[in-house]
């Protein structure tokens, strides 16, 4: 067979796997020229590649990371082969794979590209998902879906399940009806690629460039095919495994760019989003059973009628779109435990059912894959070669194991490599087993099981006494961090050694609303209203050496009191990102919002009595001016809204979301109530202000 083939492999800090991938291509029964592009931005990595790669390989070392698509385009422009084979560095070809792919394209002149059967493991247990191009409503998956929209997306998922099952079971070359070509393992016809405008759109840095190419090939009249007899093993997620947040950001950007490119303004999506918000009823998603132990993998007892063939699908979304699959037989179905060491850390969903297209059950299981800090490379800093300082995360909890599980998962998935987990159980049900499950994801764990409920402040002090880290941060069991939260705060403090506390913005969610609270440091505003949630701030142990402690006479606002103590010792650093998530989830044994308004105001008055004696008359005057300025700005905004909404004496509803909207509406609602009482009027539903 006469066919010229160029293989392109783009490396990013996976030199050993890249060398293995290149060797698997050179060992094929058909000749091909292997080009390797290094995007690692690391001279040591480039030198390792030069040492490990076969001398027949061509190596290009880029001074900066150009992205996957641009790196492939560079090699594509330098070559003139009939076919181009793309292979990820965390994949390798099995014998004869490249020859079978080339034969498929030669037999089908209208085929623009062909993909092999992809396995996630060398044992051929786990089948890789097909590339399903993003539907125009794909962004809806991040929203709370109404019953009608959620069930419609579930029906779409089941339809794709039937198609995927057919493809997974096929043993002969076939045309892909809807699926696309995965850029990590596919053979492309150069004539087809040139006919649709070239290889990859350089605007796609890391993700969705293969989806874009699949769209263009299919729109240009070219067929996309699969050759199931050709096989590759692709341990997806191996590249930049320790940069999960960065990869997630890149994926979001790529998805947005793709939707804008092919759907433009996408009026259909806008109308669907608007309809979804107005449909009555509770939000819907498939019934989910949360697997309680993150150190274990889900398993199922197989019903007798399914023993001849069952299917487990695994995906990173509850609607099981683009899942990987495990086909099997027998009385017991289990996800291989080795998968926990291969999948990128995160939350996953599994759908178990018969290996038949007609199946409607929405029952799925949710489980966690935890990172292992022992496997995370910790690179020494250039200045002094000192390791990353230890950070202690203090988690207060009481009788909320399901929320605690989510909080501990947020700690486990931090990109920062040296974390000590300190859990203080304030007189609740023993949760030692949950702490043990997360031991492998941090460098150390400490568990303090208090015999009785001692209160928020006392529990915080117990955590401070148990912690051993150079830096400390709190996380209550009903709140969350984003993956880069601690890394950003540590970086800010290490860049300013004279400062002892850094904080980020906070995203407040709950009761159907969300609000961002991110304010620069202002000592007067801190004294008047406070600045941030407790888990938004990371502080140095030196604050404890200066005598900062939680006041155990306070049952609320104890964190505000602690920050006021800290502000006497240091200025704060405001990190301009929103990575702390505060959730309003109702009653909690460690929540300051369990109190009714009267008790909360009493606690605030107690705090003010403690501090007003320490503040000078000038500071008190500045606080009064700060409160007055806020009141005036709210009053001006209220008058403007009243003027804008007035229409012939009738007042329209004010729909300003969040705390600002409630403050704006409060004076007007009070005035309305007073007028009604004075005139002895009954409230009119048509004039009610919400």
CATH number for the domain including 541? 3.90.550.10
Residue 28 lies in a domain: yes
Considering its fold, how many domains does the chain have in total? 4
Model pTM score: 0.69
Residue 36 lies in a domain: yes
Final residue in a domain of this structure, among 243, 258, 278: 243
Transcribe 100-131 into DSSP letters. HHHHHHHH-TTEEEEEEEEESSTTS-SBPPPB
Q: Is a pLDDT exceeding 80 seen at residue 72?
A: yes
Structure tokens at 103: 């034969």
What's the 3-state SS for 470-483?
Answer: CEEEECCCCCEECC
CB 212 within 8 A of CB 268: no
How confident is the model at residue 652, as a pLDDT?
A: 41
Confidence of residue 683 (pLDDT cuts 50, 70, 90): very low
Examine the domain organization and report whether 46 and 177 are in the same domain. yes
Confidence of residue 441 (pLDDT cuts 50, 70, 90): confident
Rg of the Cα atoms in the chain? 29
Residues 6+ away with beta carbon under 8 Å from 417: 242, 373, 376, 377, 378, 388
Range with lowest mean pLDDT among 313-317, 367-371, 424-428, 485-489:
367-371
Q: Which residue has the higher pLDDT, 564 or 509?
A: 564
- Per DSSP, 564 falls in state H
Residue 376 lies in a domain: no
Range with lowest mean pLDDT among 115-124, 213-222, 676-685:
676-685
Residue 505 lies in a domain: yes
Confidence of residue 686 (pLDDT cuts 50, 70, 90): very low
Nearest to 89, CA basis, from 170, 142, 178, 25:
25
Examine the domain organization and report whether 419 and 541 are in the same domain. yes
Examine the domain organization and report whether 559 and 671 are in the same domain. no
Q: Return d(Cα 348, Cα 361) in angstroms, integer.
A: 18
How confident is the model at residue 541, as a pLDDT?
A: 95
Final residue in a domain of this structure, among 179, 213, 243: 243
Cα dihedral 84→230→177→156 (10° resolution): -110
Residue 502 lies in a domain: yes
Examine the domain organization and report whether 675 and 571 are in the same domain. no
How confident is the model at residue 663, as a pLDDT?
A: 55
| Cβ neighbourhood burial of 605 (10 Å; 0-12, 13-18, 19+) | exposed
Q: Is a pLDDT exceeding 60 seen at residue 684?
A: no
Residue 143 lies in a domain: no
How confident is the model at residue 279, as a pLDDT?
A: 85
Q: How far is CA 585 from the centre of its chain?
A: 20
How confident is the model at residue 626, as a pLDDT?
A: 73
Give the mean pLDDT of the chain.
Answer: 83
Residue 181 lies in a domain: yes
Rounded alpha-carbon distances, angstroms, from residue 419 to 18, 149, 321, 439, 533: 31, 41, 34, 11, 20
Examine the domain organization and report whether 221 and 305 are in the same domain. no
Examine the domain organization and report whether 558 and 477 are in the same domain. yes
How confident is the model at residue 49, as a pLDDT?
A: 93
Structure tokens at 476: 């209550």
Confidence of residue 245 (pLDDT cuts 50, 70, 90): low
What's the 3-state SS for 18-32?
Answer: HHHHHHHHHCCCCCC
Domain containing 625: what range? 620-687
Examine the domain organization and report whether 448 and 473 are in the same domain. yes
Examine the domain organization and report whether 352 and 396 are in the same domain. no
CB 99 within 8 A of CB 28: yes
Confidence of residue 209 (pLDDT cuts 50, 70, 90): very high
Examine the domain organization and report whether 580 and 671 are in the same domain. no
Examine the domain organization and report whether 504 and 421 are in the same domain. yes
Confidence of residue 243 (pLDDT cuts 50, 70, 90): low
**pLDDT per position as a tens digit, 360-391:** 777 788 888 877 664 444 443 333 434 689 99
**Span 487-497, average pLDDT:** 92
**pLDDT per position as a tens digit, 566-606:** 999 999 999 999 999 998 765 444 444 344 567 767 777 88
**pLDDT per position as a tens digit, 403-417:** 898 898 889 888 888
Q: Is a pLDDT exceeding 60 seen at residue 39?
A: yes
Confidence of residue 228 (pLDDT cuts 50, 70, 90): very high
The helix, strand and coil proportions of the chain, stated in percent and rounded to the nearest 5, come to 40, 20, 40
Examine the domain organization and report whether 573 and 646 are in the same domain. no
Residue 180 lies in a domain: yes
Examine the domain organization and report whether 207 and 325 are in the same domain. no
Confidence of residue 632 (pLDDT cuts 50, 70, 90): low
């Amino acid at each position: 067979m006469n066919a010229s083939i160029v293989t392109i492999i783009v490396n990013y800090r996976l030199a050993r796997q890249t060398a293995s991938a290149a060797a698997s291509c050179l060992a094929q029964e058909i000749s091909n020229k292997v080009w390797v592009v290094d995007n690692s931005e690391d001279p040591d990595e480039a030198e390792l590649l030069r040492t490990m790669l076969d001398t027949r390989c061509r190596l290009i070392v880029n001074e900066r990371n150009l992205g996957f698509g641009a790196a492939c385009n560079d090699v594509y422009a330098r070559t003139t082969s009939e076919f181009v084979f793309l292979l990820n560095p965390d994949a390798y070809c099995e014998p004869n794979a490249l020859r079978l792919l080339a034969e498929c394209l030669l037999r089908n002149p209208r085929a623009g590209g062909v993909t092999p059967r992809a396995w996630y493991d060398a044992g051929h247990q786990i089948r890789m998902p097909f590339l399903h191009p993003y539907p125009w409503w794909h962004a809806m998956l991040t929203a709370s879906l109404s019953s009608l929209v959620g069930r419609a997306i579930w029906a779409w998922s089941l339809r794709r399940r039937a198609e995927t099952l057919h493809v997974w079971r096929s043993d002969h070359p076939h045309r892909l009806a809807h699926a696309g070509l995965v850029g990590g393992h596919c053979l492309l016809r150069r004539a087809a690629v040139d006919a649709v405008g070239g290889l990859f759109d350089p605007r796609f840095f890391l993700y969705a460039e293969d989806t874009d190419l699949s769209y263009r090939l299919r729109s240009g009249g070219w067929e996309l095919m699969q050759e199931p007899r050709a096989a590759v093993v692709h341990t997806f997620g191996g590249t930049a495994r320790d940069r999960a947040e960065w990869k997630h950001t890149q994926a979001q950007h790529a998805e947005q760019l793709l939707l804008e490119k092919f759907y433009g303004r996408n009026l259909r999506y806008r109308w669907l989003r608007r309809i979804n918000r107005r449909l009555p009823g509770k939000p819907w998603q498939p019934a989910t059973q949360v697997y309680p132990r993150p150190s274990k993998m889900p398993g199922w007892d197989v019903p007798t009628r399914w023993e001849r063939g069952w299917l487990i699908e695994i995906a990173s979304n509850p609607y099981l779109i683009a899942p990987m699959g495990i086909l099997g037989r027998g009385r017991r179905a289990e996800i291989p435990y080795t998968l926990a060491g291969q999948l990128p850390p995160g939350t996953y969903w599994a759908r178990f059912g018969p290996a038949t297209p007609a199946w409607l059950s929405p029952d799925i299981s949710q489980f966690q894959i935890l990172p292992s800090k022992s496997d995370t490379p910790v690179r020494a800093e250039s200045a002094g070669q000192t390791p990353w300082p230890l950070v202690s995360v203090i988690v207060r909890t009481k009788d909320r194991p399901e929320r605690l599980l989510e909080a501990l998962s947020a700690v486990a998935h931090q990109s920062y490599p040296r974390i000590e987990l300190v859990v203080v159980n304030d007189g609740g049900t023993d949760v030692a087993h949950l702490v043990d499950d997360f031991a492998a994801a941090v460098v150390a764990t400490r568990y303090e099981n208090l015999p009785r409920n001692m209160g928020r402040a006392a529990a915080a002090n117990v955590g401070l006494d148990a912690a051993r880290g150079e830096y400390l941060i709190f996380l209550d069991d009903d709140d969350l961090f984003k993956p880069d939260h601690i890394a950003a705060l540590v970086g800010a403090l290490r860049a300013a050694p004279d400062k002892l506390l850094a904080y980020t913005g906070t995203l407040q969610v709950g009761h159907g609303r969300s609000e961002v609270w991110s304010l620069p440091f202002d000592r007067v505003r801190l004294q008047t209203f406070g600045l941030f949630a407790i888990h938004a701030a990371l502080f140095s142990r030196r604050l404890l050496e200066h005598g900062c402690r939680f006041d155990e006479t306070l049952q609320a606002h104890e964190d505000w009191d602690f920050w006021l103590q800290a502000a006497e010792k240091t200025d704060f650093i405001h990190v301009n990102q929103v990575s702390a998530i505060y959730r309003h989830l109702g009653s909690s044994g460690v929540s300051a919002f369990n109190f009714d308004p009267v008790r909360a105001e009493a606690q605030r008055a107690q705090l003010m009595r403690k501090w007003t004696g320490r503040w000078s008359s000038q500071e008190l005057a500045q606080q009064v001016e700060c409160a007055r300025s806020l009141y005036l700005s709210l009053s001006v905004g209220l008058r403007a809204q009243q003027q804008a909404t007035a229409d012939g004496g009738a007042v329209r509803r004010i729909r300003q979301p969040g705390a600002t909207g409630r403050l704006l509406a409060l004076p007007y609602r009070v005035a309305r109530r007073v007028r009604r009482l004075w005139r002895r009027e009954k409230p009119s539903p048509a004039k009610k202000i919400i």
